[in-house]
Structure 1
Amino acid sequence: MFGIHDLMLFVISGLLLNIMPGPDSLLIMARSATQGWRAGCAAALGIGAGTMMHISAAALGLSAVLATSATAFTVVKWVGAAYIVWCGISMLRARLKASETGKPAGLAVPSALPYRKIFAQGFLTNVLNPKVALFFLAFVPQFIDAGAANKPLAFLILGSIFNFNGMLWCNGLAIFTAFASARLKVKPLVALWLNRVTGGLFIALGARLALSEQH
């Protein structure tokens, strides 16, 4: 149907690829551990929105520009790397802040970000990574018949299935991380250092993206 073949293989492969750790998973886990499952889900929804942008762009052929133009790839790569590094630096600079209820400094909690900013962070972290666009161009067409009547529609359908499964995983990860943090009674200072460790990983990932080559 719609020129799509081996759908079950596509679904299984997509789930396995979503489970692989990366900057998206790190962001979700850091936000869930420090601000609860709602913050983690906000990051996950932002990541899903960014993924949908990549899928739409690939279906329309815009991502092909990144695959063929070294200049376009380099520009997006450096913007994305700079943003990821900036996110990492922000996490490294996180500090403990006393709550507005007058708790002493020893009971302070890490500064919280508004959900809309967490959503935007997830969205930009994903959409500014040109490797995601190239991934969809390389992976999804393998499951579309060469003679499909409407290839863009088939691409959108497969991409939406991939993103839906990814959202199930990401939101599940957010809830599980928040639950585990609550059960383990993660202290504010531990949450703060988790934020900083994630920030360091983000800086490393940003540097890796900046040094990546177009394939």
Structure 2
Amino acid sequence: MPTGELFWAFLVAITLLTITPGVDTLLVIRNTTRTDLQAGCVTSLGICSGLFLHAALSAVGISLILVQTAWAFTLLKWAGACYLIWLGLSSLRLASRRSPARPVMSDAVTQSPGRWRDFREGLLSNLFNPKAALFYMALLPQFVDPQGHVLSQSLLLAGVHFVLAMLWQCAVAAAVSRSRHWNAPPWVARMMHGITGGIFVGIGAKVAMTQA
């Protein structure tokens, strides 16, 4: 367990990071708009599940090796960039539809594949994000007591991040879902898909052009 001072410092830092808009928040908004509140929450679950892997890799030093190995970091960077661009193009395709199909909420069989898709998109978005690996490699060691068990402390801090991020992202999803009940015209949803799609493509291009 990190010392009291280390833990509270981590809590402040991770809270500020969590509420700062980024790719994770954008993906939750995108999937909530595409389907419903549950889709946004499941997407958040996928995103937050990836935090534990980043924490474990950071604890055993693999993240450091990844950052110091140019070809491995470049490979991760390009994988993340391609995935973000793919998400963006998917949103732009939804924006181009004149009448976006709405899922049948009562059909559990229809919904279950979509829930796995939402979880998978969130998880892959987090795992392919080189900034997440860099963040956990750089930040977590600052709040871990070197005299204690490093892996357990890292996973504990990732658990704190998991709870905070789930609460925040699900709150964002709830706000977006509530706005969908205001009977907005269909072009509003298409505009949202177009905006998020363009942002995803832009972020993916920026990641691809960023020097390692």
Q: What TM-score does the superposition give when structure 1 sets the normalisation length?
A: 0.85
Aligned twin of 1:31: 31
Q: 1:194 to 1:161 in 2, by over 3 A?
A: same
Output the amino acid matched with 2:188: V
Aligned twin of 2:75: 75
Structure 1 unaligned residues grouped into runs of 5+: 102-112
Output the amino acid matched with 2:138: A
How many equivalent residue pairs?
A: 201
Output the amino acid matched with 1:168: L
Q: Give the drift of 1:55.
A: 1.7
Aligned twin of 2:202: 204
Q: 1:143 to 1:201 in 2, by over 3 A?
A: same
State the Cα deviation string for residues 97-120 of structure 1 (Å, max 9, x = none). Answer: 45699xxxxxxxxxxx81211211
Q: Give the drift of 1:5.
A: 3.9
Aligned twin of 2:108: none
State the Cα deviation string for residues 168-204 of structure 1 (Å, max 9, x = none). Answer: 111111112211332x333322112211210110000
Contact 1:4/1:143 (<8 A) preserved? no
Q: What secondary structure, in the 3-state scheme, does the structure 2 residue paired with 1:149 have? A: coil
Identity %: 34
Aligned twin of 1:92: 92
Aligned twin of 1:188: 186
| 1:1-215 mapped onto 2 (5 Å cutoff) | 1-2=1-2, 5-94=5-94, 95=97, 96-97=99-100, 114-145=114-145, 147-182=146-181, 184-214=182-212
State the Cα deviation string for residues 103-147 of structure 1 (Å, max 9, x = none). Answer: xxxxxxxxxx812112111111111011101101111111123x4
* Partner Cα separation in structure 2 for residue 134 and residue 59 of structure 1: 13
Output the amino acid matched with 2:56: S
Structure 2 unaligned residues grouped into runs of 5+: 105-112
Higher helix residue share: 2
Q: 1:79 to 1:71 in 2, by over 3 A?
A: same
Moved more, 33-42 or 15-24: 33-42
* Partner Cα separation in structure 1 for residue 36 and residue 132 of structure 2: 27
Aligned twin of 2:110: none
Q: Give the drift of 1:39.
A: 1.1
Contact 1:3/1:148 (<8 A) preserved? no
Q: Give the drift of 1:63.
A: 1.2
Aligned twin of 1:110: none
Contact 2:58/2:140 (<8 A) preserved? no
State the Cα deviation string for residues 66-94 of structure 1 (Å, max 9, x = none). Answer: 22111100001001101110111111111
Q: 1:6 to 1:31 in 2, by over 3 A?
A: same
Contact 2:35/2:103 (<8 A) preserved? no
Q: What secondary structure, in the 3-state scheme, does the structure 2 residue paired with 1:46 have? A: helix
Moved more, 70-79 or 114-123: 114-123
Q: Give the drift of 1:4.
A: 6.4
